[in-house]
Amino acid sequence: MKKTIALSIIMFLCFLFLFVESGCSRFAEKPVEQEETGLPSFVVQGKTDDCELFETTTILSPPFVVQGKTDDCECYSTCELFAKAELGIPIGKIHGLTWKNPQELFSFLQESANKSGGKITIRKVEECLQELVSRPQPGPAAVSLLIHPQGHLYLLIGTVMIGDVLTFQLVHGDSAVWLVDQKTLENANFTEAWQFQKNIDGTIFWVGKIPLKIDSHYFNFGKVVPSTQLEATIHLKNQGESSLIFQQSQVSCRCTVADDLSGTELKPNESKEFQVALTTSTSASERHSIFLPVVEKGTGVVQRIEILLLASQQQSMSIDPLTIDFGNVHPNEKYTRTINFMEEPTDRFSITGFDPNGTPIQGKYQTIGSRDGLKTYQVEVVFTPNGNEPDREKDYFVVETNSLLRPQVNIPFSFKLIPEISAEPATISIGSVEIGQTAEEKVKIVSQKKEKLECSIKKRPSNCTVDIVRQGNPIELFVKVKPEKSGIWQDKIILAVKTSSREEVLEIECVGYVH
C-alpha cells in the first residue's frame, strides 16, 4: 500500500513538472517564421551606451535570417515613416503594425501622396540597383523601398565601397545598416521597388495642430572611419499659428550629442538651428537616434521626433581590451598589461610604432599567432608612475599601424595613484566649533614602502599646535586647534618628511566653520 502511494506521488510530481515546464516553454519560446533572403547576418553585441550595439559577423556572407512574422516586425512603421517623409506627407500618427501586407501600405501612401502632391513609382529592383551602380561615386542616395515576397520591407539608402566591392546600404525595421553586395541582393528575390518624389522641401511633423518643418528626419553620412566626429545642422521652422516649446533632447548612445533646446520657445513662422554630432565607433554599422520632444503651447500635446544618424564603415581591426585600468598604483613601481590587435578580412595591417603620448608608459609588440590568414599582434605596455601625476588619473597612449582604416589607435588608460608617503587623514576637518573652543585631531604619516620616516614642521596655522608624538613608520602627530575668529576656517599644515633616500614636502589641508 505504501509503495502504491509513493509511486502515485512520484507520478503526480512528474506530471506537475512537465505541465509547468511546457507552460513556461509556451510563454518563453514564441513560434517564429524564418525569412531566408541571403542577406548578411548581424548580431547584437554590448550595451547601447557602450556604442557597440551593432557588430557584423561578416560583411558579405549569407544568409540573413529575419525571425518573426511581419506583424511582429518594425519594418512597416519604419518604412511608413521614411515613405511619408520622401512623399512630403505630413507626419503625425504612424500606423505601423496595422498594415497586413505591402499592398495595404501602398494604397494608403498612394492616397496620401495624391493629396500632398507626391508620387510613387514602382520599378524593378534590378533597375534601381543598376541606377546606383552607374553613379560616378558611391554615397547616400534617395530612398527606395524594396518589397520581399515574405511581406517584409527594406529601405535602400545608398552605396559604399568595401575594399573593391560596391555594397548597398539596407535598413530593415530598427536594425543596423546592413552592407550587401549586388549579386546577393539580386538573388534575394525582391519583387519590386518603390521610389518617391515630393513637391515640397523638408519634412513636416504635426505637434498637435501645429506643423513643424525640419530638413530631414535622418542623415546618412555614407562611408566613415572610426573615431571621427560627424556633424549635422537641422533647421526647424514653426509653420503653425501658436508656439512650440522644446524639451530636453535624448540620445541613444553617449557617442551622440545634441544642442540643449529645453525651454526654447519657437513662435509662429520662427526658425531655429539644431546641431547634432556623432563620434563613430569601430562598428561596421552606425545607427544612432536623437529624440526631440516638442510640446504644443497651450494644449500640452507632445510629439517625440526621432532623428536618425546613419553611416557604414569597413570593419576594422579587433582590439582586446579597448581600455586599460591599472587600478591602485604606487610611484616608481612597474605595472604590465597586454593588448591584442587582430586583423579582419577587410583590415589587414601590421603594427609600426608606439607613442607613449607623454605618459610614463613603454610598449613593445610582436606577432603571436595567425588563423585563417589573419594575424594577431600583442602589445605589452609597462606603466611606471613617477608620483608626479596625481591629477592624471585618465590618459591615453598611441599604437601606430599601417592600416588604412586606423593608422593611429588611441588606448585610454586609468589608474589611482597611491602616494608613497601619505597623511591619514589627508584633510583635518574640525566641523562646526565655537570661538575659543579647542578641537583635537590625530594624524598618521605613513610610508607605503614601510620605510622609516623623520618629520619636521615647516608651517602651521597661528591658532594651531602640532606635536610630533612618534617618529618612525608611521609618524604620529597630535593637532590642537583653537579658533579665534568666526567664519570659515581654512589653512594648511606643511611638513618635511624624510626617508633614507629623499625628502618630500607634505601638505595637510585644515577646514572648519567657527561661530
Answer yes or no: do 110 and 131 share one domain.
Answer: yes
Answer yes or no: do 167 and 121 share one domain.
Answer: yes
Cell 579597448 -> residue: 322
Last residue of a domain, one of 280, 312, 344: 312
Of residues 7 and 508, more confidently modeled:
508
Examine residue 19 and state whether it is found in any structural domain, yes or no: no
Q: Which of the 8 DSSP states describes residue 79?
A: H
Examine residue 18 and state whether it is found in any structural domain, yes or no: no
Using pLDDT thresholds of 50, 70 and 90, give the confidence band for residue 16. very low
Best CA proximity match to 463, nearest among 496, 443, 486: 486
Examine residue 15 and state whether it is found in any structural domain, yes or no: no
If you average pLDDT over residues 117-124, what whole number do you get? 94
Sign of CA dihedral 66, 67, 71, 75: negative
Answer yes or no: do 229 and 324 share one domain.
Answer: no
Answer yes or no: do 273 and 336 share one domain.
Answer: no
Using pLDDT thresholds of 50, 70 and 90, give the confidence band for residue 448. confident
Answer yes or no: do 286 and 404 share one domain.
Answer: no
What tens digit of pLDDT does each residue of 401-447 get?
Answer: 998 888 999 999 999 887 778 888 888 888 888 888 888 999 998 88
CA angle 215, 218, 221 (to 5 degrees): 105
CATH number at residue 164: 3.90.70
Can you give the pTM of this predicted structure?
Answer: 0.63
pLDDT at position 350, please? Answer: 94
What tens digit of pLDDT does each residue of 458-503 get?
Answer: 999 888 899 998 888 888 999 998 888 888 888 999 999 988 777 8
Q: How far is CA 494 from the centre of its chain?
A: 45
Using pLDDT thresholds of 50, 70 and 90, give the confidence band for residue 39. very low
- Residue 238: all three cell numbers together: 514653426
Answer yes or no: do 350 and 252 share one domain.
Answer: no
What tens digit of pLDDT does each residue of 236-293 get?
Answer: 999 999 999 999 999 988 889 999 999 999 999 999 999 999 998 877 889 999 999 9
CATH number at residue 468: 2.60.40.10
Cell 501602398 -> residue: 106
Examine residue 6 and state whether it is found in any structural domain, yes or no: no
Examine residue 20 and state whether it is found in any structural domain, yes or no: no
Answer yes or no: do 467 and 403 share one domain.
Answer: no
> Based on the structure, what is the number of domains in the chain?
4
pLDDT at position 269, please? Answer: 95
| Strand segments (E) across 163-284 | 165-171, 177-181, 192-197, 203-207, 210-214, 218-223, 229-238, 244-246, 250-251, 256-258, 265-266, 271-279
Answer yes or no: do 412 and 431 share one domain.
Answer: no
Cell 606635536 -> residue: 467
Answer yes or no: do 363 and 510 share one domain.
Answer: no
Examine residue 187 and state whether it is found in any structural domain, yes or no: yes
If you average pLDDT over residues 355-363, what whole number do you get? 94
Of residues 122 and 20, more confidently modeled:
122
What tens digit of pLDDT does each residue of 236-250 get?
Answer: 999 999 999 999 999
pLDDT at position 425, please? Answer: 87
Last residue of a domain, one of 257, 283, 312: 312
Cell 546641431 -> residue: 275
Q: In what order do the strands lie in the sheet with 361-371?
A: 318-320, 335-342, 374-383, 361-371
Answer yes or no: do 234 and 101 share one domain.
Answer: no
Last residue of a domain, one of 295, 312, 329: 312
Answer yes or no: do 148 and 265 share one domain.
Answer: no
Domain ranges, residue 225: 208-312
**Does pLDDT of 12 surpass 90?**
no
What tens digit of pLDDT does each residue of 44-87 get?
Answer: 222 333 333 333 333 333 334 444 455 557 889 999 999 999 99
Q: Between helices 75-87 and 102-116, what is the axis angle to 10°?
A: 20
pLDDT at position 175, please? Answer: 84
211-233 per-residue burial string, b: 16 or more CB within 10 A, e: under 16: bbbbbbbbbbbbbbebeeebebe
Answer yes or no: do 157 and 221 share one domain.
Answer: no
pLDDT at position 61, please? Answer: 33
pLDDT at position 504, please? Answer: 83
Examine residue 99 and state whether it is found in any structural domain, yes or no: yes
Using pLDDT thresholds of 50, 70 and 90, give the confidence band for residue 35. very low
